[in-house]
Amino acid sequence: MKRERIRRNGGSNYFSSPKTKLKFISSGCKTLDLALGGGWVRRRVANVVGDKSTGKTLLCIEASANFVASVPKALVRYRESESAFDPSYAAALGMPVDKVDFGDPLETVEDLFEDLDRIVEGAKGPELVICDSLDALSDRGEMGRDMDKGSYGADKAKKMSQLFRRLVRKMEAKDVTLIIVSQVRDKIGVSFGRKTTRSGGRALDFYASQVLYLAHLGVLQRTVSNVKRPSGVIVRGKLDKNKVSLPFREAEFPILFGWGIDDMSACLNWLKEVGGLPLAGFKKTLKDSEIRAHSRAFMDGPGDEYREELDRLHEIVSDKWYSIEKTLLPTRTKYGA
């Protein structure tokens, strides 16, 4: 009886089970949602960092689609600063562009602050604000000085710190979620530690509840009429910081051009990695090509069958994920009875 009480009150129950009090926005990938702690946490700041072709904008598109689909009266505000966003392609990937406020393109961090301040003050319901990307934003001081007299991003970092200090509490009260996209930059002369960084100074590290780093692992190819063509990329997402779940969790997922994240393949690949394919009715030795073929068969079939199969896999993956987490963590708290 004592052992049962200790296990029930153990610290693992908090860290290795879904959080019921927090609300999340699905990333479009079950394994990434689990690594995040349930998805993108609402009312907070999240930072998506990655190199080219790692799906940063795609994650924002999928978050927008899931936010509008799951939250009544939800409003998405997409602020683009790279002059590279294609609404038609985003719509083809599932973004509800008719329910998205694109506003005016951003040029400086001051523009971002003023826009966010106006959005938060006037928010009357759940809102998701996306800034794509922070690295393309300058500051007004830099815009007015000569190029050879730059501040090397110091002014920009100070502005970002001021912005977050003033807005994070208001965002929480008004149910406004902010996702900021960042691009990595190489550090010069670094011989140890992380060799990349991103602009914005330490403010993002301090105020973001989730910091996700994306890495490009490879290219998927398909052969049609004896011609090979790239059909997607494989990406790994690693949580550098997570205030709503255990940090440093990882998730690998394929991104298919014209489709988005191949959630079904991601689930099956993860089950294969942990030896859980038999739980889903597959043989342990299922090949990667067979996994992709299984996913594509459902992608090309009726939507209700695809969703039914995906829901089945989601349940199996969730159970296996949390069973692993519970095994890793202690069965009681340090200062508990």
Q: Tens digits of per-residue pLDDT, 279-294? A: 999 999 999 999 999 9
Q: What is the pLDDT, as a whole number, of residue 139?
A: 79
- Split at pLDDT 50, 70, 90, the class of 302 is very high
Cβ atoms of residues 238 and 229 within 8 Å: no
pLDDT in tens, 75-129: 999 999 888 899 999 999 999 999 999 998 888 888 998 999 999 999 999 999 9
Q: Which domains does the chain have, with CATH numbers?
A: 18-259 (3.40.50.300), 262-330 (no CATH)
pLDDT in tens, 139-193: 777 766 665 555 545 677 788 888 888 899 999 999 999 999 999 877 777 777 7
- Whether 30 shows a pLDDT value over 80: the answer reads yes
* Range from 8-22, 90-104, 210-224, 268-282 carrying the lowest mean pLDDT: 8-22
Q: For residue 196, give every residue at least 6 positions away whose Cβ sits within 8 Å of its Cβ, in sequence order, or none.
A: 51, 184, 185, 186, 187
Beta bridge partners of 254: 234
- Split at pLDDT 50, 70, 90, the class of 65 is very high
- Whether 237 shows a pLDDT value over 70: the answer reads yes
Question: Among all chains, which residue has been given the structure tokens 């700041």?
Answer: 45
Token duo for residue 46? 């999240």
How much is the average pLDDT of 313-323?
Answer: 96
Token duo for residue 211? 């910091």
Q: For residue 153, give every residue at least 6 positions away whose Cβ sits within 8 Å of its Cβ, in sequence order, or none.
A: 199, 201
Token duo for residue 227? 């011609």
pLDDT in tens, 185-194: 777 777 777 7
**Nearest of 255, 282, 273 to residue 320 by alpha carbon:** 273
- Whether 57 shows a pLDDT value over 50: the answer reads yes
**Nearest of 293, 275, 292 to residue 284 by alpha carbon:** 275
Cβ atoms of residues 187 and 53 within 8 Å: no
